[in-house]
Structure formats: C-alpha cells, structure tokens
Structure 1
C-alpha cells in the first residue's frame, strides 16, 4: 500500500527565506511535498484549515499571528500537527513557549541544511510511526467488529435451534 506524501506548509514574512527553505531540501527524499508558502500568520492558519498539512515550518515573528499564536490556534484544529520554528532570535522565552506547544524543533537563522534535514527526517519517522499505529488500531477495531458480528450470528442461531441454551448464554454474557 502506497502512503500519501507528508504535506508541508512554509510560513515566513520574508519571501526569500521561504524560497531558501523550499530550495534547500529535496522534499521527495523525505516523502514530503510543500503544499503552500505563505507570508503571514493569518494566511498560514487559513491554509492549515484548507490544506490540512502534516508539518508547518514557521517563522517566530510574522505579521498577523506570530509563530507561537499560530501554533496555539493550529493545535486547536489538529493536535497532531508538527511544527518547526525558524527564528533569528535566541531569546529563551520564545524557545520556552515553543516547547510548551510541543514544537519538533527550534532552528536559528541562518538556516543550516543539515539541521533542517535532520529535523525533517525525525518528523518523517514520527509520521510513519503514527500512521502505522493508526492502521493497527483500525485493523483491531475491524477485527473486533467482525468478531462481535459473528458472536451475534451464533447467538441468534443458538436461539433458533435451542432457545434455552441461548438464554443461558445471554445470562453468562451479562
């Protein structure tokens, strides 16, 4: 079964930074695709609603919503959304706020390819593990549903063939 590519949204108020991030990475190597590039927090939140990305790479300081506000609002839409913060600021308060929201990484500008690709690989593996867990949970749910249906069928047949045995079985189930 082929997996869907991991969808990435890039948000930074500097167009050249967005272009750099886009060109810095061979996205297919990470089974990812950039679905949108936006230049402010308001557009970023709108695209998050519309496009349902898996990963958002965002600047910490942008017009509209800053990176932290964007993360808080986006987590209300999708709690599993992964964030990478890109910032020119080394302030501890920003990093502390990012940690509070479960940000995957906090990278300082200028962006280093090795740091970004290392973070993307970590996120890729995390997304694959989560997809495998969801698939396993769905398989278990379907198996349980199938087993329950079979038990109901058997109980119904027992009732038709031997009503007193079916009543006894029902009593044991309760």
Structure 2
C-alpha cells in the first residue's frame, strides 16, 4: 500500500524540486497533492486522508504555525515534516508542538529529506498502537 504525501509550499519551484529530489515510489510513497495555498490545503485535508504532510512554514495566506496546527487538528494521525528558509526558532517550535518528525532548512538536502521520510514512515508503522498511550 502506498502512503499518501501532500506537499504545501507557496513557491511553485520548490514544489517541483521536492517532487524530483527523491524517488518517492521506491519509498512506498505517492504524492497525491501539491498545494501553493495553505487554505486550499486544509480544504483538501478535510476530504482526503494524508499520511505525511510536508509543509513550508512561511506562506502569505496563513502562517506556517497556524497552518500546521489546523492541519493536525483535521488529521491528527498524519506525520508532519516542516520546511523553512528561516532559521527562526518560533517556526521550529511550532513544528515541534505539532509533533513534527523533523524540520528541514532550505535549500533542502536530499539525504536529510530521505532520512526524515524514513523516520516518518517508521512513525506511521509504529503509530497504530503507540500513539494511543501518550
């Protein structure tokens, strides 16, 4: 079964780059949606389950911290990976508060992304029983 991934970033080039950065299929992952507007991304999440959300933390329509909090409220079981060009600790903290698997700095390092995706997949495979006991 392929795990579903959604990418959210207001920069189109970054969305395109992320798609090409790793071989998603070989990881058992499928990018089912890319969204440049976080508000549209939330609408999509309401109607569609997503296993892993990779989101930028600096978007004009809605702040990253507000977006990831809203996204996790809709899909609490979803793994979260946050991206930011800013080494701004508020963004890191907001990601961590939403149990982000990792925080990636732009420009994104392929190895770091791969490692993070493996971490997210490990969380997904363990979460069916461990999450309930937190």
Say yes or no: TM over 0.5. yes
Q: Which of 21, 25, 28 is the matching residue for 2:25? A: 28
- Structure 1 residues not aligned, in runs of 5+: 135-174
Structure whose residues are more often strand by fraction: 2
Deviation at 1:56, TM superposition (A): 0.7
1:93 aligned onto 2:79:
no
Q: Deviations along 1:125-145, whole A, 9 cap, x unmatched? A: 2212234x49xxxxxxxxxxx
Q: Distance in 1 between matches of 2:28 and 2:126?
A: 14
Deviation at 1:74, TM superposition (A): 1.4
- Choose 1 or 2 for highest CA Rg: 1
Structure whose residues are more often helix by fraction: 1
Q: Secondary structure at the match of 1:48?
A: helix
In the superposition, the TM-score normalised over structure 1's length comes to 0.71
Q: Distance in 1 between matches of 2:39 and 2:63?
A: 9
Deviation at 1:43, TM superposition (A): 1.2
Q: Secondary structure at the match of 2:99?
A: coil
1:69 aligned onto 2:62:
no
Give the number of the structure with larger relative contact order, counting CA–CA contacts within 8 Å between residues 6 or more apart. Answer: 2
Instruction: Give runs of aligned pairs for residues 5-154 of structure 1, distance below 5 A.
Output: 5-131=2-128, 133=129
- Structure 2 residues not aligned, in runs of 5+: none
In the superposition, the TM-score normalised over structure 2's length comes to 0.90
Q: Distance in 2 between matches of 1:51 and 1:16?
A: 24
Deviation at 1:66, TM superposition (A): 2.2
How many pairs does the alignment contain?
130
